Chains A and B, each alone.
Chain A
Amino acid sequence: MEIFLQQVVSGLATGGIYGSLALALVMIYQATDVVNYAQGEMAMFSTYLAWTMINAGLPYWAAFVATLAIAFVGGLVIERVVIRPVENAPILTIVIVCIGLLVILNSLAGWIYSYIQKPFPSPFPETPIVIGTVVFGAHDLGAIGVTLVVLVFLYVFFRYTMLGLAMRAAAQNPSSSRLCGIRVGWMLAVGWGLAALVGAVAGMMVAPIVFLDPNMMGGILIYAFASATLGGFTSPGGAVLGGLIVGVVENLVGTYVRFIGTELKLTVALTMILVVLVVKPSGLFGRAVVHRV
């Protein structure tokens, strides 16, 4: 029972991280119908920036905030400079541009920081927290907390601010929004910025667990895809919940189903994606998109 609870909590922690990255994917997808394959590498690069600042002597939380700011501006600039010229191109062209972005960021990180794994500090104490008879990692609990804060912030932003409302409008109906005076192009750019910011949080929370290296987000990106698929690509809340479910299932299956262990973990993600897509393609909380013929 104790092992079970521990696995669930650590599953929730990694699940929260998957959920954050899934949320970043969903935000861009909703606004532009594009799945940003470079999302993971953008998060990885932001985490390296945080590492540089912490190594230069900045306190952790100062570096954290600075990284978020840089990630936001970076995402915004990438949308304006790289994505905008192909905005109206066929969808596959945009996919290839995203892939180009992915290899550029990956290669740059390897060039600047080398491919050797680096430890990344956790802002939370190392001593585990004991509740009753169950031992929880402090970083696990902290990561869950940080993820929740980000979610509440985004919810409030989209629900209660003018900019959030404008962004939702731009995503839902670009031409009407434009007629109302919303600068749709800039709303998309802000969306990319916010997605990069959320991704940076995910990167900094996952780096203490998986260690920092240029390829660290590869596996996590696929779990984020699984989460977004499970929750539904049209539902931000669903993506986060999907992340939590994926995280917990991943841990429980790895612990209790002997022949899977850690070797076939990615295959679990593949199976989940396939099952969801075949049984209910719109995900648990997404709405089915109806096309007019």
Chain B
Amino acid sequence: MTGARAWERALVVAALALACALPFALSGFRAFQFTQVGIYAIALLGLNILTGYNGQISLGHGAFYAIGAYTTAIMLDKWNVPYGLTIPVAGLVCLVAGFLFGIPALRLEGLYLALATFALALAVPQILKYFEHWTGGSQGIVLSRPEAPAGLTLTPDQWLYFMTLGVLVVLFVLSANLLRGRTGRAIVAIRDNPIAAQAMGVNTALYKSLTFGVSAAYTGVAGALSAVAVAFVAPDTFNVFLSITLLVGIVVGGLASISGAIFGALFIQFVPNWAQDISKAAPWAIYGIFLIVFMYTMPRGIAGSLKLVLNRLARASGGAGGPV
């Protein structure tokens, strides 16, 4: 066990160091792509808390991403609120929205929940266009990109990257702590056996809707960050494909795994680009093939496969004997 832990810790430190060095070694455009990876990772972590740890399937997290993005965009556009303030507000708005959506979701399981959230994802662009006065209709809202604060010699791209990285690290530590403790055990227990959890005194209804809220809040923060980074929001960017992409991210990255969110984010950011390089004509066909092959070869996602490798390494090097 200790062997595997040590390997894990070393990897986390190395990844953080790499993440800090990255924007200085890359062009502005590449740095922006990695900002996008960070944003996706936050959204995926949110979805993973709900789907991976709590077992509630959501095909509609794009909706919360959209709510977060629009909350920020409207606050910036209408009231000139500083962008740093809008992000926690977007998280709070999504926390409430997710909690409220989580209440009817209590009655739904598995497939039915997937369907209800899928319908939510489909309806979002239409609803956004309908409230034209606030959302700017199908034209969307154009924002201005923030500059790095005075005193820091960073380009706007680098500044956005580090801001995202900061939010990401904070949210990852928070979720790791949340999931490791009493609350996390309750959340997982509900996934594994709701009736037994209830018998042990877990308030399933409260925990499930709260998990929905927290998950939506994470995704909303990601949406808010994306509004700031892209400096533009429009209803059709929050279509059903966004929700599907998020689900693809957590399954490819690894369900019920915190590091899985990062792998999944890298996958959904870069694999479509590779697919485009391979075939200009039908990039999504290539993407679909990637997806299916991935599921055949790594049914537990990248994090799941990596964990196997780590355990083997630990056993081979220390002989301490990791869990089989």
Residues of A at the B interface (CB closer than 8 Å) are 29, 33, 35, 82, 85-86, 89-93, 95-97, 99-104, 106-108, 110-111, 218-219, 222, 225-226, 229, 233, 263-267, 269-270, 273-274, 277-278, 281, 293
Contact = CB atoms under 8 A, between A and B. Distances in A.
A93 B251 contact: yes
Interface size class of chain B, counting residues whose CB lies under 8 Å from the partner chain = 35 or more
Contact of B130 (A96, A218, A264, A278): A264
B174 interface: no
A270 B108 CA distance: 15
A82 B108 CA distance: 29
Given A110-B282, A264-B126, A277-B115, A96 B251 contact: yes
A103 B127 contact: no
Nearest to B127: A267
B120 interface: yes
Interface of B: 51, 57, 104, 107-108, 110-112, 114-116, 118-120, 122-123, 126-127, 129-130, 195, 240, 244, 247-248, 251-252, 255, 281-285, 287-289, 291-292, 295-296, 299
Contacts of B123: 266-267, 269-270
Nearest to A280: B107
B122 A278 contact: no
A266 B112 CA distance: 18
B289 A92 contact: no
B57 A99 contact: no
B112 A277 contact: yes
A222 B127 contact: no
Given A92-B251, A96-B248, A266-B123, A293 B195 contact: yes
23 contacts: A35-B115, A82-B292, A92-B51, A97-B292, A99-B244, A100-B292, A102-B288, A103-B288, A104-B292, A107-B284, A107-B285, A107-B287, A225-B118, A226-B119, A263-B129, A263-B130, A264-B126, A264-B127, A266-B122, A273-B115, A277-B107, A277-B116, A278-B108
Contact of A229 (B51, B115, B285, B291): B115
Contacts of A103: 284-285, 287-288, 291
